[in-house]
Amino acid sequence: MKFPLLLAALAGLVLALFLLSLLTGVAQVAPGESLRALLFGDGGPLTLVMREIRLPRALLAVMVGASLGLSGAAMQGFLRNPLAEPGVIGISAAAALGAVLALQTGLAAAFTLALPGAALAGAVLGVSLILLLAGRGGGALPLILAGVALSALASALTSLVLNLSPNPFAANEIVFWMMGSLADRSFEHVWMALPVMALGWLALSRCGPGLEALTLGEDAAASMGTNLRRLRLLLVGGVAAAVGASTAVAGSVGFVGLVVPHVLRPLVGGRPARLLPAAALGGAALVLAADIAVRLVLPGRDLKLGVLMALVGAPVFLHLIWRMRGQP
C-alpha cells in the first residue's frame, strides 16, 4: 500500500472510532441527538455527558494510544528489536510507583490532579535515573540494562507499598488503578497530559532519520552522520514524556506499544521512520476500539482497559510469533 494512502486509511479509522467512542456509553441516546448536544449544547444533562465525560474520554484514548504506539515504534527502531516496547526503559513502572504512592498516602484524594501529578514526578525521576545509569555514550545495551534495573526497582517498591499498606481500601484502589482505565476522566486530565505528550511526540518525530540509519547497526549509523548520543537523548526524553503522561492519566496499558508497530511494520516496507506516524495512528485506533469494547462487553462492570488490552493483545502477539516461526 502506498504510504500516504495507509496514513489516510489509519486516520479515517481513528476518526470513525472517535465518533463511535463519543456515541458509546451508559446513557442510550440516538447518535444524531448526542452529536447535536455535543456541538451546539442545550445546557441540558446530555450536553454535560457529551462534553464533560465522553469527549475527554475519547480524546484521552487518542492521546494515550498515539503515545504508546509512537513510543513503541521508536523504541523498537532504536533497539533494532521487534520485541521491544515502551516499558522496556522502566518509565511506566516509575510513573506507576508515583501514582501508587499518591494513592497510598491519600494525596490522590486531596485534588484531582494529585495522582497524575505524582505519576509524572515518578516518570521524571525515572528518566533522570535512566540517563544517569546509561552513561554518556549513545549505545542501546546500557540503556536496556538501566531500564531493566529501574523497572525492577520501581516494581519492587510498588509491591512494598502494597505489602505494607495498612489500609485494604487503598491497596484495592491501587490494584484497580494499575489495571489501566480511561473511565471517569475529565478535561483536567486532558490539559495536564497534552502539553507533556506533545513535547514527547515532537522529540520522537525527530528521531526518524537516525532510526533509519540504525537499520545498519550503531557503528554504521554513527558513520552516516547520526549523532547517537543526541538520538538516544531525544528517544529517552520523548518516550518518557509520552509514556509517563499516558501512565499518569490512564494507568498501565500494555501491548499497544508492542503489537501496533509489529502489525504495521510490513505495511510501511519495514522503514522505521515511516512506522512512527503509522504506529501513532494505529495505537490511537487500537486504544479507542478497546475503550469502546470495555463499555460494550460488560456494561456496568467497569472492565479495565489494560485487562482487555492484555486479553486481546497477548493472543494477537502469540499469533504473530506463530506466523514468524521458522523465519530467520
Instruction: State the nearest-atom distance from the C-beta of 213 to another protein, in Å.
Output: 6
Residue in 60, 11, 87, 2 with CA at minimum distance from that of residue 277: 11
Of 266, 301, 323, 326, which lies in the binding site for another protein, with binding defined by CB under 8 A? Answer: 266
The Cα–Cα gap between 255 and 158 comes to 21
Of 166, 219, 300, 325, which lies in the binding site for another protein, with binding defined by CB under 8 A? Answer: 219
The backbone region for 180, taken as left when phi is positive above 0, alpha when psi lies in -120 to 50, beta otherwise, is left
What sign does the CA torsion over 10, 11, 12, 17 have? positive
Of 12, 106, 269, 315, which lies in the binding site for another protein, with binding defined by CB under 8 A? Answer: 269
Grid cell listed for 245 = 503522561
Of 8, 160, 175, 220, which lies in the binding site for another protein, with binding defined by CB under 8 A? Answer: 220
Which amino acid makes up residue 260?
A: V
# binding residues, another protein (CB under 8 A) = 24
Site for another protein in 233-252 (CB under 8 A): none
Does the protein bind another protein through residue 222 (CB under 8 A)? Answer: yes
Site for another protein in 33-52 (CB under 8 A): none
x/- mask, another protein, residues 86-125, rule CB under 8 A, reads ----------------------------------------
Does the protein bind another protein through residue 135 (CB under 8 A)? Answer: no
Does the protein bind another protein through residue 223 (CB under 8 A)? Answer: yes
Instruction: State the nearest-atom distance from the C-beta of 234 to another protein, in Å.
Output: 14
Of 105, 188, 212, 312, which lies in the binding site for another protein, with binding defined by CB under 8 A? Answer: 212
Contact 67, 242 (CB under 8 A): yes
Instruction: State the nearest-atom distance from the C-beta of 108 to another protein, in Å.
Output: 42
The alpha-helical segments, DSSP class H, found in the chain are 3-22, 31-39, 45-48, 55-79, 91-105, 107-110, 114-134, 141-164, 168-178, 187-205, 208-214, 218-223, 228-250, 256-264, 272-297, 305-324
Number of C-beta neighbours around residue 124 at 10 A: 18
Of 141, 216, 311, 324, which lies in the binding site for another protein, with binding defined by CB under 8 A? Answer: 216
Grid cell listed for 36 = 447535536
Q: Which residues lie near another protein (CB under 8 A)?
A: 80-81, 209, 212-217, 219-220, 222-227, 265-266, 269-272, 328
